[in-house]
Amino acid sequence: MSATVAPHSSDSVTLMGAGLVGSLLALYMARRGHSVDVFERRPDPRLAGPVEGRSINLALSDRGWRALEGVGIGDEIRRVAIPMYRRVMHDAKGQLTFQPYGQDNQAIYSVSRGGLNRTLLELAEAEPGVTLHFNQQCLHVGLKERELHLRDAATGQEQVRPFQRLFGTDGAFSAVRTAMQKTDRYNYSQSYLEYGYKELNIAPAADGTWQLEKNALHIWPRGQYMMIALPNLDGSFTCTLFFPYEGKHSFAALQTPAQVQEFFAEVFPDAAPLMPELIEDFFQNPTGSLVTVRCFPWAFDDDVLLLGDASHAIVPFYGQGMNAGFEDCTVLSQLMDEHGNDWHTIFQEFQRQRKPNADAMADLAIYNFEEMRDRVADPRFLLQKKIESKISAQYPDQWLPLYSQVTFSPDTPYAEALANGQRQERIMRKLMKHIEAEADFDKPEVQELVHHEMGRIAD
């Protein structure tokens, strides 16, 4: 096959999907000198007005920043991102409690999915050799024939486009993956939570400022459901209600404007008055579903590779979906540095390295839903987090909290973070039996136990 492959610097690559991962990957490929064709099912988002209403606000964290900086665009994105330094929990009486995300100036950053995507598309299109094709629905992928069958959604015209190397960056419902699913012995699963989500809005104050603490991620944890809010640049917050489809408190149970208004006034009493468009938003915005997709392999020969949600769609509760997809770009780029145009090795290594990390992240994301909707409302949980933070300060080389390993590490593999987190949780369970208040951390028996456990970790 190598006889037909063009020299490294001029390999032609095809991307299906111009969302966040697709547009970033286009940039990476273009910077390496490849000519890049990107096909996208939807219209150019830069032409339409901002079409929000279906997207959870995104939280960029260190892995995402690293990938953006890999193509030199970190600063450009940072200008439109809002740092969030802590969780602010709102209880049913409107009382607040707080949980810092990390140390000092560590933050996750609220960005608009649409805004970020438009910026990445601008930057990609400015590169020589990148061509974006919008309104191109993928009807079929001929894996063996190396052909994309496309239909122009505007004109209805169909075309067959050959590809040399195809990257499937077309999201959780990937057409490229659908083709791979039909190959022999393909492992695949799609698993839905029994929760949907609804995007809502907290309006800016009359003077355009933020009606809640700006630099925070707000949570209204209510046990079996929750609402969150992330700040926007215009003074508003984008809220997302994560809510059961069925049951006593559920989408099925809220059918009329009066029911919605009454429910919000009762369970989110401090937020409801700040949501003048609650009823319109609730009934007009679609209810999104929450899917986890796992599959393997991610590569078909050395012709096709899946990245981002196409191979590992996860639920949004750890804020890592986009970050994990961006990290795919970082890892792929490293492998291209190491292995030149040996695409076989690049693709094999990519899926070998990334699959266990994607699986770990999928588990962590589901785990964090429970934490956010339920445990953050528990004083014992918050006390445990404070104690953990003390251990981390005392043994900085031996103890980095799980959240920090996932969020504030630019490259700790997710699988390693998960394993460390599980070991830490076992230790914390022993420790918390001796602790009633923050000051108990300094008790000799607690210090001895901590010291003992740190010794074991060092083994």
Among 191, 256, 259, 422, binds a second copy (CB under 8 A): 191
Task: Give the torsion sign (CA, 266, 270, 272, 273).
Answer: positive
**Up-side HSE of residue 445: CA atoms within 13 Å toward CB?**
7
**Nearest approach, Cβ of 293 to a second copy (angstroms)?**
10
Nearest to a second copy of 289, 394 (CB atom): 289
Number of residues near a second copy (by CB under 8 A): 12
Beta carbons of 26 and 123 less than 8 angstroms apart: no
Residues 294-333 that bind a second copy (CB under 8 A): 294
**Nearest approach, Cβ of 63 to a second copy (angstroms)?**
27
Among 105, 189, 209, 284, binds a second copy (CB under 8 A): 189
Nearest to a second copy of 164, 287 (CB atom): 287
- Amino acid letter, residue 350: F
135 phi-psi bin (left φ>0, alpha ψ -120 to 50, beta other): left
- Amino acid letter, residue 204: P
Beta strands in 203-357 (DSSP E): 216-221, 226-231, 237-244, 288-296, 299-300, 304-306
Nearest to a second copy of 184, 459 (CB atom): 184
The shares of helix, strand and coil residues in the chain, as percent rounded to the nearest 5, are 40, 25, 35
**Nearest approach, Cβ of 296 to a second copy (angstroms)?**
9
Nearest to a second copy of 194, 438 (CB atom): 194
Residue with token string 């490929």: 29
**Nearest approach, Cβ of 121 to a second copy (angstroms)?**
30
Residue 129 DSSP SS3: coil
Burial call 130-147: b when 16+ CB within 10 Å, e when fewer: bebbbbbebeebebeebe
Among 4, 105, 155, 187, binds a second copy (CB under 8 A): 187
Nearest to a second copy of 185, 456 (CB atom): 185
Q: How far is CA 19 from CA 6, 39, 116, 206, in A?
A: 28, 10, 10, 34
Beta carbons of 142 and 175 less than 8 angstroms apart: no
- Amino acid letter, residue 23: S
Nearest to a second copy of 310, 377 (CB atom): 310
**Nearest approach, Cβ of 149 to a second copy (angstroms)?**
20
Query: Does residue 186 touch a second copy according to CB under 8 A?
Result: yes
The answer to whether the peptide bond before residue 297 is cis (omega within 30 degrees of 0) is yes
The answer to whether the peptide bond before residue 396 is cis (omega within 30 degrees of 0) is no
Only one of the segments 99-107, 128-136, 190-198, 319-327 lies at the binding site for a second copy (rule: CB under 8 A); that segment is 190-198
Enter the tokens of residue 32: 């390496």
**Nearest approach, Cβ of 243 to a second copy (angstroms)?**
14
Residues 78-107 that bind a second copy (CB under 8 A): none
Parallel, antiparallel, or unpaired: how do β-strands 299-300 and 304-306 relate? antiparallel
Helix (H), strand (E) at residue 120: helix 113-125
**Nearest approach, Cβ of 302 to a second copy (angstroms)?**
17
Nearest to a second copy of 96, 139 (CB atom): 139
Interface characters, 100-139, with a second copy (x: CB under 8 A): ----------------------------------------
Helix and strand numbers (H, E) in the chain are 14, 19
Residues 245-304 that bind a second copy (CB under 8 A): 289, 291, 294
Among 75, 184, 436, 459, binds a second copy (CB under 8 A): 184
Enter the tokens of residue 361: 């992240």
Nearest to a second copy of 88, 295 (CB atom): 295
Nearest to a second copy of 186, 283 (CB atom): 186
Helix (H), strand (E) at residue 388: helix 379-394
DSSP 437: S
Nearest to a second copy of 98, 186 (CB atom): 186
Among 33, 43, 48, 192, binds a second copy (CB under 8 A): 192
Determine the Cα–Cα distance for residues 335 and 333; give it in Å rounded to an integer.
Answer: 5
**Nearest approach, Cβ of 31 to a second copy (angstroms)?**
36
Nearest to a second copy of 9, 189 (CB atom): 189
User: Which residues would be at the binding site for a second copy (CB under 8 A)?
Assistant: 184-192, 289, 291, 294
